[in-house]
């Protein structure tokens, strides 16, 4: 039971009226510019957040270094953080048991969206990949508790840590190497929707596969027929889901290492896919000019708008890609178009597509408006947790 006496042991962080309003509106972050005083809170401390008059607003994880100084973990008083972490890990696992189907790879813990700010855990069959993004989750005993709880509940062969050196620097955390924390198996295969993939914990551009697209792969496969083009294909996620339904599949990416894995993935599934190493913008321009045609095109570029300032050029980039793809689709064909830029909201993305359709003189029928797979839940009042958009439309 939380007790008022114990609560007073926690350092207090006083926040401005603007910060308090943000929390009252359901967000969980308070920026450093809204911190009035931090009571000498140590890095990564569990703190009581108060308004300017000293009224408690909840319990939070404090970062001494990040621009996001406060991440609220409860509106109540929390004194036993380790027990809360254990409970939330159990809840996150139970939620996945309810909503995740047809895969042995999924996100097990999604940071704020699982009320465990700064912690991301992905499962690839028998390997768990863990990322720690904030001071409080990096500190013991929490780190040890996370690892032991995951090991106990999921019995993985290995738990590996993926380190983003830039994140540790921003959080003023000492450098660490990526690598196994427990067990030594670092490569495996996993299955999504009946399609198999290789996973190597020590390689890949992020935590491995783009698990957030898992349900969109299955959705795209429903409309697949004839000739398919998967642009920004990475290790072949969409291409390999389309392949069983198509006469010909081409995947395009600028990363040779990604395409090498894509090719091994194709072999694993006994599929014949053409992989092309190219800049997608150049390739689409050439292919559109030479009047190539497809029955389904997938566009899944990297986040063009990393910050709000990139928004205009990002929208131009999305429009160019979509315009060219629309020109190459046969009548009755399908466009699957994605954006993983948080700064591009769904309505701007839809407006961009409508605009591209007008310029391409094509009529688009929107069939599905999709987002992240259910193992990447979004908090309605924390818009940053919703970033992926995936639109499926047919063209006439």
Residues near ligand SAH (CB under 6 A): 210, 213, 232-235, 237-238, 253-255, 258, 279-281, 300-302
What dihedral angle (degrees, nearest 10) is formed by the CA atoms of 28, 120, 98, 93?
A: -100
- The C-alpha atoms of residue 337 and residue 243 are separated, in whole angstroms, by 18
In this structure, are strands 227-231 and 294-299 parallel, antiparallel, or unpaired?
A: parallel
Residue nearest to ligand SAH (CB): 237
Q: Which candidate in 233, 246, 338, 340 is catalytic?
A: 340
- With vertex at residue 375, the alpha carbon angle to CA 369 and CA 379, rounded to the nearest 5 degrees, is 70
In this structure, are strands 187-192 and 195-200 parallel, antiparallel, or unpaired?
A: antiparallel
Task: Reduce the secondary structure of 63-108 to three states and give it as a string.
Answer: CCCCCEEEEEEECCCCCCHHHHHHHHHHHHHHHHHHHCCCECEEEE
Q: CB atoms < 10 A from the CB of 242, how many?
A: 30
340 is catalytic: yes
Residues 6+ apart with CB under 8 A from 110: 92, 120, 375, 376, 377, 385
Nearer to ligand SAH, 135 or 213 (CB): 213
- The C-alpha atoms of residue 274 and residue 92 are separated, in whole angstroms, by 39
Nearer to ligand SAH, 57 or 356 (CB): 356
263 burial level (CB within 10 Å; 0-12, 13-18, 19+):
middle
Shortest Cβ 243–ligand SAH spacing (Å): 14
- Record the tokens describing residue 101, joined without a space: 């189907």
Decide if 214 contacts 195 (C-beta within 8 A): no
Phi, psi for 354 (deg, rounded to 5):
-60, -40
Nearer to ligand SAH, 27 or 374 (CB): 374
State the catalytic residues: 340
């Amino acid at each position: 039971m939380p007790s008022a006496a114990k609560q007073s042991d926690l350092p207090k962080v006083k926040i401005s009226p603007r910060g308090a309003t943000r929390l009252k509106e359901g967000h969980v972050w308070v920026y450093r510019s809204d911190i009035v005083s931090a009571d000498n809170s140590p890095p990564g401390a569990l703190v009581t957040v108060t308004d300017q008059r000293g009224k408690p607003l909840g319990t939070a994880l404090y970062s001494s270094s990040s621009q996001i100084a406060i991440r609220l973990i409860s509106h109540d008083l929390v004194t036993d953080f380790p027990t809360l972490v254990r409970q939330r890990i159990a809840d996150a696992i139970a939620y996945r048991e309810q909503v995740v189907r047809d895969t042995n790879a999924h996100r097990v813990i999604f940071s704020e969206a699982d009320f465990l700010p700064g912690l991301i855990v992905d499962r690839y069959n028998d390997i768990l990949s863990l990322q720690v993004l904030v001071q409080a989750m990096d500190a013991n005993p929490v780190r040890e508790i996370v690892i032991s709880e995951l090991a106990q509940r999921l019995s993985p062969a290995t738990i590996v840590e993926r380190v983003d050196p830039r994140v540790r620097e921003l959080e003023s955390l000492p450098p660490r190497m990526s690598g196994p924390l427990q067990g030594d198996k670092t490569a495996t295969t996993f299955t999504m929707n009946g399609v198999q993939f290789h996973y190597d914990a020590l390689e890949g551009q992020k935590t491995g596969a783009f698990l957030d697209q898992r349900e969109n792969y299955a959705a795209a496969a429903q409309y697949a027929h004839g000739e398919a083009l998967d642009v920004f294909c990475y290790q072949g996620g969409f291409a390999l889901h389309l392949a069983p339904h198509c006469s010909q599949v081409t995947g395009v990416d600028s990363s040779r290492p990604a395409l090498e894995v894509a090719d091994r993935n194709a072999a694993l599934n006994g599929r014949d896919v053409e992989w092309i190493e190219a800049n997608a913008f150049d390739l689409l321009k050439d292919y559109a000019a030479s009047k190539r045609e497809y029955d389904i095109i997938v566009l899944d570029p990297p986040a063009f708008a990393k910050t709000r300032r990139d928004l205009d050029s990002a929208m131009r980039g999305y429009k160019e890609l979509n315009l060219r793809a629309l020109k190459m689709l046969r009548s009755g064909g399908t466009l699957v178009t994605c954006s993983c830029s948080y700064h591009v909201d769904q309505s701007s993305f839809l407006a961009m597509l409508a605009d591209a359709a007008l310029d391409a003189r094509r009529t688009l029928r929107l069939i599905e408006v999709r987002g992240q797979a259910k193992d990447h839940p979004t908090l309605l009042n924390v818009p940053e947790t919703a970033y992926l958009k995936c639109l499926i439309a047919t063209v006439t």
